[in-house]
Structures are given as C-alpha cells and as structure tokens.
C-alpha cells in the first residue's frame, strides 16, 4: 500500500490557502502601507518558526509515536514562557513576561501531564502510528 | 521534539516583537507569517524532492486532495481567530487558551461518550483550568492597573 510520507504537504496547503484568503481580505480593508508594515526579516523569522515546528513535529510522530509526541508537546506552554522570559526580544515593557509566569506554566504543564499519564482510555492501538 | 518545542517557543515571542514594534492588524500578521511559511515549506519540498511525487500522489488520490484543501480552508478560518487573540493578548495567553480549549474538548468528549476517567485525571483538569483562569484574571487586573496608571499620568 502506498503511503503519504510528506510532512510538509499539509503545511503547504494550509499556508497557501490562508495566505490567499488573508491577502484578498487585506486588499479590501487596508492600504498598501498598512499591508506592508512588517519588514521581511521579521516575517521570515515567524514563518521559519512555523515551518520548523510543523516539519519537526511530523518527523517526531514518524520516528516515535503519537502519544509520546503529544505528551512532550504538552510542555508547549512551558517552552513559550521560558523563551518569553529568558530569551525575549520584546522591548515593550507591557508585553514582557515576568519570572512568575514560569511557575504558572510549570503548574499548567504538570496538570496536562497528570491528565495524559493517567488516561484510562489509552488502548494499545494508539501506542504506535 | 526539541526543535519542535524550541520553534513553538520562539514563534509567540517573534510575533510579540512584530506586534509591539510595527503594530500590524491581525490579518496582516497572519498573511505575512503564512506567506513565509509557504515559501519555506515549498523550498523544503523542492529540495527534498518531495514536490513531484506528492503532486502525483494527490492526483491519484483525489479524495485526499479534497480533504487537504478542506483542512486548509478550516485552518485559515481558525487562524483568523488565533491572530485576533495574538493581537489582543500577551504572547503566552494564546497557548493557554489553546491548551484550555483542548482540555475542555477532552472533558466534553469524556462526558458525552461516557469514557472512564480516573480521579487523578480530574485533579489534572482542575489544575489546568484553575491556572488558566487565575492567569486570565491576573492579566485583566494588570491591564486595568496599566490603564489607570496611564490615566493618572495624563496632565
């Protein structure tokens, strides 16, 4: 049986359709100045983070298994807050995250992990992809 | 997985920088991010040699093509809402909302389909909801304080 082993396929469709829909919407609502207010390098950084995370996620599922990936991905909140607190490039003080947020993210992550580790509905069929 | 977590961790911060510096509308940010993600994934597809076999596969399996397009349309609609959230809230609130939504969906599915749930899982649910609600309330309070500070500073 043929398999569809292209991790970027969904991303290609999702991003192209969203780009197209959003572009048409912006054409009708914003001036060309408003539409091009983001410098290309900032857009590139955001776009590469999306591409990298989606492709890495697909490969992670391919090489390990779905429950394990979902479990590790549950720590997403923690990684967002850690980056936001420790490596932030945000200069606006109202948008900066304080260290207290790490504790909050750790508690939320613990809650998600507890929920997933003790899942009674896990079947053996879910252990591999 | 480490790459995935790091990239997911940096994305909200990159978006927060753009939001604070250039103040784009939610859809302008959405279009810019998706444009670059499309260009990069297209280049990835081209360099790995996936593009041609992928096109042939989709041509041979028309139903899959329809499904992928539908996912794309639904995702575009979902992103409109997500970028609105990115525009309104601080960068860490969006993953909180997404996680709470996921847990809420799981909770609903447990009730609706009568799945078994352990007591300790309920503790996990309460922790996630509790922390998320606490975080929202403290953000709203913080915003309120900032607004009143600004109000006082006015001559």
Give the pLDDT of residue A127: 42
Smallest Cβ distance to B30: which of A22, A42, A79? A22
On whether both A39 and A92 belong to a single domain, the answer is no
Question: Number of CB pairs < 8 Å for A and B?
Answer: 289
Smallest Cβ distance to B20: which of A16, A91, A119? A91
Give the pLDDT of residue B34: 92
- The closest of A85, A81, A82, A91 to B93, measured between CA atoms, is A81
Residues 87-116 of B with CB under 8 A from A: 90-92, 95-96, 99, 103, 106, 115-116
Q: For chain A, what percent of residues have pLDDT higher than 70? A: 74
B145 vs A82, which has greater pLDDT? A82
On whether both A78 and A119 belong to a single domain, the answer is yes
Specify the 3-state DSSP secondary structure of A87: coil
Mean pLDDT, range B85-105, rounded to an integer: 75
Count of domains in chain A?
2
On whether both A86 and A101 belong to a single domain, the answer is yes
Work out the pLDDT band at A128, boundaries 50, 70, 90: very low
Candidate ranges A4-13, A80-89, B10-19, B54-63; pick with highest mean pLDDT: B54-63
On whether both A39 and A86 belong to a single domain, the answer is no
On whether both A82 and A97 belong to a single domain, the answer is yes
On whether both A58 and A101 belong to a single domain, the answer is no
This model of the complex carries an ipTM of 0.76
On whether both A74 and A128 belong to a single domain, the answer is yes
In a domain, A1, yes or no: no
User: Among the three residues A63, A89, A105, which one is the final residue of a domain in this structure?
Assistant: A63
Q: Which residues contact A91 (CB under 8 A, 6 or more apart)?
A: B17, B20, B21
Mutation for testing the B interface, residue in A1, A3, A4, A15 having most B CBs under 10 Å: A15
Give the pLDDT of residue A2: 67
User: Among the three residues A36, A63, A90, which one is the final residue of a domain in this structure?
Assistant: A63
Mean pLDDT, range A100-110, rounded to an integer: 80
The shortest C-alpha distance from B14 to chain A (Å) reads 6
On whether both A44 and A71 belong to a single domain, the answer is no
Which residue of chain A is at minimal alpha-carbon distance from B50? A6
On whether both A88 and A106 belong to a single domain, the answer is yes
Mutation for testing the B interface, residue in A2, A19, A86 having most B CBs under 10 Å: A19
The shortest C-alpha distance from A125 to chain B (Å) reads 17
Is the per-residue pLDDT at B39 higher than 90? yes
In a domain, A26, yes or no: yes
Domain around A38? 7-63
Alpha helices, H only, A30-124:
32-35, 40-63, 66-73, 76-86, 100-117
B39 vs B143, which has greater pLDDT? B39
On whether both A58 and A73 belong to a single domain, the answer is no
Query: In angstroms, what CA-CA distances link A97 with A90, B12, B83, B135?
Result: 9, 12, 19, 12
Give the pLDDT of residue A97: 67
Give the pLDDT of residue B40: 93
On whether both A42 and A52 belong to a single domain, the answer is yes
In a domain, A2, yes or no: no
How do the domains of chain B map onto residue ranges?
A: 1-90, 92-155
Q: Are A118 and B92 in contact (CB < 8 Å)?
A: no
In a domain, A32, yes or no: yes
Contacts of A87 in chain B (CB under 8 A): 10, 13
Q: What is the pLDDT of residues B52-87, one digit of tens each?
A: 888 888 888 888 889 888 888 888 888 888 888 877
The shortest C-alpha distance from B106 to chain A (Å) reads 10
Is the per-residue pLDDT at A113 higher than 60? yes
Give the pLDDT of residue B149: 45
Is the per-residue pLDDT at B155 higher than 60? no
Q: How far apart are CA A105 and CA A115, in angstroms?
A: 15
On whether both A59 and A24 belong to a single domain, the answer is yes
Q: pTM of this prediction?
A: 0.74
Mutation for testing the A interface, residue in B17, B31, B123 having most A CBs under 10 Å: B31
Work out the pLDDT band at A120, boundaries 50, 70, 90: low
């Amino acid at each position: 049986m043929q398999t569809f082993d292209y991790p970027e396929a969904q991303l290609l469709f999702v991003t192209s359709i969203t780009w197209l829909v959003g572009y048409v919407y912006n054409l009708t609502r914003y001036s060309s100045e408003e539409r091009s207010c983001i410098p290309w390098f900032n857009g590139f950084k955001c776009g590469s983070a999306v591409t990298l995370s989606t492709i890495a996620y697909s490969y992670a599922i391919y090489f390990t298994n779905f429950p394990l990936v979902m479990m590790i991905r549950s720590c997403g909140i923690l990684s967002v807050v850690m980056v936001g607190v420790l490596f932030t490039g945000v200069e606006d003080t109202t948008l900066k995250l304080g260290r207290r947020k790490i504790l909050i993210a750790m508690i939320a992550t613990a809650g998600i992990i507890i929920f997933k580790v003790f899942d009674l509905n896990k079947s053996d069929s879910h252990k591999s992809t | 997985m480490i790459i995935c977590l790091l990239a997911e961790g940096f994305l909200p911060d990159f978006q927060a920088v753009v939001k604070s510096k250039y103040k784009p509308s939610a859809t302008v940010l959405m279009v810019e991010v998706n444009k670059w993600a499309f260009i990069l994934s297209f280049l990835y597809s081209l360099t790995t040699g996936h593009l041609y076999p992928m096109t042939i596969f989709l041509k041979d399996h028309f139903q899959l093509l329809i499904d992928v397009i539908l996912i794309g349309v639904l995702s575009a609609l979902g992103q409109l809402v997500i970028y609105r959230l990115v525009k309104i809230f601080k960068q860490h609130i969006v993953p909180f909302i997404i996680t709470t939504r996921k847990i809420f969906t799981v909770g609903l599915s447990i009730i609706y389909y009568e799945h078994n749930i352990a007591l300790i899982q309920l503790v996990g649910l309460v922790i996630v909801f509790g922390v998320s609600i606490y975080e929202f309330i403290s953000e709203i309070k913080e915003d309120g304080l900032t607004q009143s500070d600004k109000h006082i500073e006015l001559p």
